[in-house]
Amino acid sequence: MFDLFRSSILLLTFCAAQTLVAQIPIAQARDLTIGTTVTVRGIVTNGSELGGIRYMQDGTGGIAVFPGTGSTSGFSPTRGTDISVTGPLKLFNGLLEIDPVQSFTVHATNVPLPAAQTITPAGMGETTESELVRINACVFANAGSTFTSGTTSFTSNGLPGNIFLRTGHPLVGNTIPAGIVDIIGLVSQFSTATPPIGGYQLLPRTAPDLIASNSITILGEVLQSSIVPTGFTLDWNTNIAGSARVRYGLTPAMSSLASPTAISTSHSAQVSGLLPARAYYAQAYSVQGADTAWAPVQLYSTASADAGSVRVYFNKPVDENVAIGPVAIDLGSAMDDTLKAYMDRAESTLDIAVYNTTSSLLVNAANDARSRGVQVRWIAEASNSNSALQNLSASIPLLYRTNSTGSGMHNKFVIVDADGGPAAHILTGSANFTNSGLFLDPNNLVVVNDMALARAYRMEFEEMWGSSGTLPNLGNSRFGGDKTNNTPHLFNVGGTLVQSWFSPSDGTTARIVDALQSADERIEFALFVLTSSTLTEALIDMHAEPGVVVRGMVEEEDMSMWTFDALLEGGVDVRTDGATNSLHHKYAIVDRGAPDSDPMVVTGSHNWSFNAENNNDENTLIIHSATIADQFHQEWNARWTTAVSVPELGATQSPVQLWPNPSNTVLNIALESMAGNAELYVVDASGRIVHSERVPAAVHVLDVQSLSPGAYSVVVVRNGERYSRTFLRMP
């Protein structure tokens, strides 16, 4: 994998700097433009054994810090130092660094290091770069000889990897271990290709990072399969042979035990005799002699007793001509009526978590349900318009999220009769309960008839609500980063596998990456927002895979010029939606028309952005269904036929010229060889449009004094062609 996203930024900004004053999470800093000055705080995970460079990590990610030319003196923290560092972002042979160090503050020393996450060699990449990891069951190719400086190769369960030792590293001259070892180290990158391609390597620090693997260890995730109303199967692997068991129960005590399996390194344990549509705590473990390897405790759901279904609807025309199976349903102006019809079915409970609501029809549906004796609970976001909720019945408790960062409580779901057996439904998708969400902007509605999934959604609702009762418990209510990963994630809905993920507790972006990386033939996407470098890189990487075609649309008003240009440079056919209203979808279709390749759809409320992953309350479904993938493709193709292709021309070909550059007063913009008027946009380093106007094809004078210092792009669009030039607003 190569970081084409940051490479394109580097070319576009000419390493121009933008200063950020506030301290931000490391993951957010990693998404910013090369040259941006950032302040981050984390725990230093190495010392002088790797030279002058230091790697630091917080709860969101890791980053390298190099005290290069121009750095303040005295930067040589020891392992376990809690430190804040300020400096510009730099790309050195693919490795993202803060270089030089402009300032730093030591908060504490001898702080416990973050736990090393267990990965495979294939897990070394941008998502784990500069983080402390552990790769189990490794075998060195030249075991028994001695370590030298440079690269030493190994394999782990058949997957290749490399460690790298600098000259003078404490392991140089030591004997390379024979047999199986677990390796702890830092994920780094070194590639002299342009743009940087691959080159990911593991940096062990000292001899204790090579652990003789005489004990039994569980490798990778425990996977759930064969989900039925009375049980399920858990599958996992270990580094050496052992027996396997599962302890489980309806509470964390997990007092029941599944029958032991035969001695093996590949384990499959059946858990049976369970209740339908229930979430069970379960923990897999393997035993070899006196050693026991424990997997994490997780929640797993049984299937519902009643076979459920998944239905999808759209509020804009679909292209029936490309249908393979059943034709997708275009509700037109009836999306609100459809939502109301399902809400009108509620007999016992109705739980609603929707970002914003201006629809009186849907508020009245909730009021009518309450009048019928239904328990109704409503959660909304406090920072935006919820004008219709002023008419919500006083007998319906209403909870606002008030501690919002990003979009805040951005969910869009309704739970109907969670305990109602065949009456249980989840209503979700991309639409808010507003005029634009229901009628104007392209959106989707997903209706899942399944009690197991409805109960899982209720668990998420009640984590925000703070109680299982009628009234919220404000002292126990959790939003955003305070939430935990406390719901099951895999469901058998009438034979259709459905994954459910909530943000920011469940690592949703990684699950979307997994879905994209499963593609064998095609990926099609329609997105309101694409600012996540991780997901941008995943699309580019999959397009580079032989036989895989990646195409999609991004809403023009909210698109990031950086990610858009990176996709174009990576060869992805990406377009703007070309419609007057906003493309509000958040979906991707994987391998539609290839039934043997596990076709699936990713959809929900989760925009492909930093805030959706790290700050907002979001819900996402990954639906494994050839039929659903085909119906989403019918919607996608209808949008695609009107999407606007915007080819990017390089600066040497561009008819757009800027001067003076840098500037702190005015910027002259010459639109050479362009006839007629054009649309002009000024875009900041985060991809936000900060100025737009229609201009004639002549020299235009732009006043930039109101802009904050930093790097910007001037984007000119005319007749479907887009030209981008970068300038620097000086203080």
* DSSP states of 316-338: S---GGG-SSSPPEE-GGGHHHH
Only one residue has tokens 């808010």, namely 432
Task: Choose the weakest-confidence range: 450-464, 612-626, 654-668.
Answer: 654-668
How buried is residue 253: exposed, middle or buried, by Cβ count under 10 Å (0-12/13-18/19+)? exposed
Average pLDDT over residues 63-73: 92
On the question of pLDDT at 352 being above 70, the answer is yes
Confidence band of 561 (pLDDT split at 50, 70, 90): low
pLDDT of residue 378: 98
Core vs surface per residue 646-685: b (16+ CB within 10 A) or e: bebeeeeebbbebeebebeeebebebeebeeebebbbbbb
Instruction: Name which of 25-34, 37-46, 410-419, 553-562 the model is least confident about.
Output: 553-562
pLDDT the model gives residue 69: 85
User: Which pLDDT value is given to residue 621?
Assistant: 98
Say what the pLDDT of residue 13 is.
33
Structure confidence at residue 386 (pLDDT): 94
Whether the per-residue pLDDT at 675 is higher than 80: the answer is: no
The answer to whether residue 1 scores a pLDDT higher than 90 is no
Q: Average the pLDDT over 73-85 and give the result.
A: 93
Whether the Cβ atoms of residue 350 and residue 369 lie closer than 8 Å to each other: yes
Percentage of the residues of the chain whose pLDDT score is greater than 70 = 91
Q: What is the pLDDT of residue 695?
A: 80
At residue 443, the pLDDT reads 97
Region 336-360: mean pLDDT is: 97
Fill in the DSSP letter of residue 423: G
Three-state DSSP state, 457: helix
Contacts of 179 (CB under 8 A, 6+ apart): 139, 143, 212, 213
Closest to 664 measured CA to CA, from 712, 592, 625, 697: 712
Which residues make Cβ contacts (< 8 Å) with residue 293, sequence separation at least 6?
215, 216, 217, 218, 238, 242, 285, 286, 287
| Phi, psi angle pair for 549, to nearest 5° | -110, 130
pLDDT at site 560: 62
Q: What is the pLDDT of residue 175?
A: 83
549-554/522-527 β-pairing = parallel
Task: Please give the pLDDT value at position 570.
Answer: 83
Q: Is pLDDT of 718 > 80?
A: no
pLDDT of residue 98: 96
For the segment 358-363, the average pLDDT, to the nearest whole number, is: 97
% of residues, the chain, pLDDT over 90: 62
Q: Of the ranges 220-224, 238-242, 420-424, 577-581, which is most confident?
A: 420-424
pLDDT for residue 174 is more than 90? no
- DSSP label of 93: T
pLDDT band at 672 (very low <50, low <70, confident <90, very high): low
380 with 356: CB under 8 angstroms?
yes
Tell me which of 389 and 143 has the higher pLDDT.
389
Question: Cα torsion at 313, 318, 321, 325 (round to 10°)?
Answer: -10
Q: What is the pLDDT of residue 158?
A: 80
DSSP conformation class of 474:
T
| Dist CA 308 CA 304 (whole Å) | 8
Average pLDDT for 157-168: 87
**pTM for the whole structure:** 0.70
pLDDT at residue 325, rounded to an integer: 93
Does the pLDDT at position 11 exceed 80? no
- Sorting pLDDT into bands at 50, 70 and 90, what band is 12? very low
- For position 10, what pLDDT does the model report? 35
- What is the overall mean pLDDT for the chain? 88
The pLDDT of residue 647 is above 50: no
